[in-house]
Structure 1
Amino acid sequence: MGQITLSSVTKVFGDVTVIPPLDLTINDGEFVVFVGPSGCGKSTLLRLIAGLEDTSSGKILIDGQDATDAAPAKRGLAMVFQSYALYPHMSVRKNIAFPLKMAGASVEEQNRKVENAARILNLSSYLERRPGQLSGGQRQRVAIGRAIVREPAAFLFDEPLSNLDAALRVTMRQEISELHQNLKTTMIYVTHDQVEAMTMADKIVVLNAGRIEQVGSPLELYRNPQNLFVAGFIGSPKMNFITGAEAAKHDCATLGVRPEHLDVVEGGPWQGVVGIAEHLGSDTFLRVHVEGIGDLTVRVSGEMGLHHGDRVSLAPQAGKLYRFDANGKAIA
């Protein structure tokens, strides 16, 4: 079991409130991603759950038991950090077995659990190597293996892929998602990358200045953002925001439209000139300067041969406009 409940949890450093009173329930077996810009409090929140930071007030329950003041080792959680924190002089086998050795497990138990973790992570043929002989992705898998052998109630990942190159991040993202499907264990994952959040999570928690802006599945947040912050953070490329006279026509302070919900058509309501065209193969991203509105990002087929200086006519897809009031709240 791995249900985690935060009840009015706060964190204050001196005179600065980093986490205002916050309530959140993470259900057993969920893959939950904390996402938000740098400094939003997502890593601090993870450290509070892990017990690496003390809460200023509120309660943390793990499987219904009050763990607010429990030591990290007593919480039944395993954390995987951005840095691999492996012992360079030890083999992969000994690195993975280290927490078991510290807990006094027998050699037989250590070997059984290490070999099971290695099989899950495709590390069986690397057990006698040292970390210096491994790639970045393999080292991260060793760090995850060290967490697996503890058989925790939940795994906590603090931006574990930040040190990897783009291609390897995609591979490791898939491997961690597959690991969750195999283990069925609660996972909490911190990232500033909304693409990671969208592709991995069962549930996303969007944080801003320590506050939860919205909680929901990736598609819920994409389709029904509750405010301007979530609308602008979820989705890549980000949503276009339009203010002024055009927004007023739609009875709102800000009008939002995603790049993929704009079509290049004949006789559309918005006329403009292509400034930049980024051709990515399957997609092309256009930066279009629209008269009376400003710059809009448009996502079109990679086969569309538009270039700098071309005049285009744009039309938003039916039912795909988002309206926000003067306070940035979504208008139903």
Structure 2
Amino acid sequence: MADVEIKKLTKSFGTVEVIPEMDLVIPDGSFTVLVGPSGCGKSTLLRMIAGLELQTSGDLSIGGVDVRGRDPSDRGIAMVFQSYALYPHMTVRENISFALRLAKADPAEIEARVQNAADILQLTPLLDRRPKQLSGGQRQRVAIGRAIVRNPEVFLFDEPLSNLDAALRVQMRVEIMELHERLKTTMVYVTHDQVEAMTMADRIVVLNEGRIEQVGSPLELYDTPQTAFVAGFIGSPKMNFVRGDIPERLGGDLLGVRPEHMTLGEGDTGWTARIHLLEQLGSDTFAHVDSEVGPLIVRCHREVAELVGRDLRVAAKPGMLHLFKDGRRTDAPETL
């Protein structure tokens, strides 16, 4: 196992700066997720760790060893891509063992490593099949098995679940988390899906335009987002925002409140509102509300359908407000 340390790292393509100067430590044994919108630089950062892209400047070390200029095969890493990239003419056994056979490893050692990976990933009955005979989830497990047999110090995952359907993504999320729990190896995982980030990571790095917005545990980012960007990106549905120049006392700041921290009813406190759409998900109901301060989403009880079309009031629960000044977190009032 090994940590990954980045100091003053930059990346430019010609005159286009993709990643300004960045400092980041990925702890040994952690499951760290790099998350952010398309074009934020997360895959570029992962590819620099892997050695598939060279940094423009700065330092990058794995396990305390400076890896600048080293080939990917000499960095102690293994990478799982969005595309399974399996050889269609090879069996599962041959796909998993390919890198070891290329390195002319001892045949007995190859067989032992392949069998160990197959046992971990429940691939033993499939070892003699070819990729076309496998489901999408099974192919992804083969791709992960190909990484496991290399005994890497760091696993790198580049949006590995993007090609799977919703149910299979949930299953594979659990399997990758269990794999990390079993191997205790440093894992760096790239995704644009904040649900994946929240459910899988013990540390999340939120990126925006090549810069780190915040690093922390999933609940730290959810409960105390340090920027308006993080507050709006982490959470599903996302945080509601109200411009502070509507309630005059807030000036021009940005007020945020999570959908589950709002109340909706026919009292006399809060902002005037009316429900225009309900998302009924069984365990949750989300009311899309038109209010005097703009559109809001409120998580509420299942019987809210009877309130559709009525004049209502929507309010934030005391102590659940977030306030951002110039995009950065600041002290919020208890109530409005």
Do the structures match in fold with TM over 0.5?
A: yes
Q: Does residue 67 of structure 1 match 2:76?
A: no
Which residue of structure 1 aligns with residue 149 of structure 2? 149
Residues 195-236 of structure 1, C-alpha deviation per residue, up to 9 Å, x if partnerless?
000000010000001000110000111111111111100111
Identity %: 60
User: Residue in 2 aligned with 1:300?
Assistant: 300
Structure 1 segments, 4+ long, off by >6 Å, are none
Question: Is the 8 Å Cα contact of residues 280 and 302 (structure 1) preserved in structure 2?
Answer: no
Correspondence for 2:286: 285
Q: Which one-letter code corresponds to 1:330 in the other structure?
A: R
Note if 1:322 corresponds to 2:309. Answer: no
8 Å Cα contact 2:244-2:252 kept in structure 1: no
SS of the residue 1:330 aligns to? strand
Deviates further, 251-260 or 49-58:
251-260
Say whether residues 1:81 and 2:86 are aligned partners. Answer: no
Q: For structure 1, which runs of at least 5 residues remain unmatched after alignment?
A: none
Secondary structure of 2:90 counterpart: coil
User: How large is the Cα RMSD of the aligned pairs?
Assistant: 1.2
**Which letter does structure 1 place at the counterpart of 2:84?**
Y
2:161 aligns with 161
Q: Does 1:56 align with 2:42?
A: no
Residue 264 of structure 1: how far off its partner (Å): 1.9
Give the drift of 1:311. Answer: 3.0
Deviates more, 1:306-315 or 1:106-115: 306-315
**Is this contact kept in 1: 2:42–2:210, CA < 8 A?**
yes
Check the 8 A contact 1:247/1:255 in 2, yes or no. no
Letter in 1 for 2:138: Q
The amino acid of 1:259's aligned partner reads P
* Conserved? CA contact 1:247–1:254, under 8 Å: no
Secondary structure at the aligned position of 2:305 is classed as coil
Q: Relative to structure 2, which stretch is displaced further, 144-153 or 298-307?
A: 298-307
**Amino acid in structure 1 at the alignment position of 2:288:** R
Shift of 1:151: 0.4
Q: TM-score, normalised by structure 1?
A: 0.97
Can you give the 5+ residue segments of structure 2 that lack an aligned partner in the other structure?
Answer: 332-336
Name the structure 1 match of 2:334.
none
The letter of the residue matching 2:330 is I
What is the CA-CA distance between 1:94 and the residue it aligns to? Answer: 0.7
Q: What secondary structure sits across from 1:129 in the alignment?
A: coil
- SS of the counterpart of 2:24? strand
1:219-234 pair list within 5 angstroms: 219-234=219-234
Retained in 2: the 8 A contact 1:252–1:323? no
**For 1:1-150, what aligned pairs fall within 5 Å after superposition?**
1-150=1-150
Question: 1:252, 1:324 within 8 Å by CA — same for their partners in 2?
Answer: no
Amino acid at match of 1:146: R
Alpha carbons 1:323, 1:331 under 8 Å: kept: yes
> How many correspondences in the alignment?
330
**Structure 1 residue 172 and structure 2 residue 172: aligned?**
yes
Residues in 2 aligned to 1:306 and 1:28: alpha-carbon distance in whole angstroms = 53
TM-score, structure 2 as length reference:
0.96
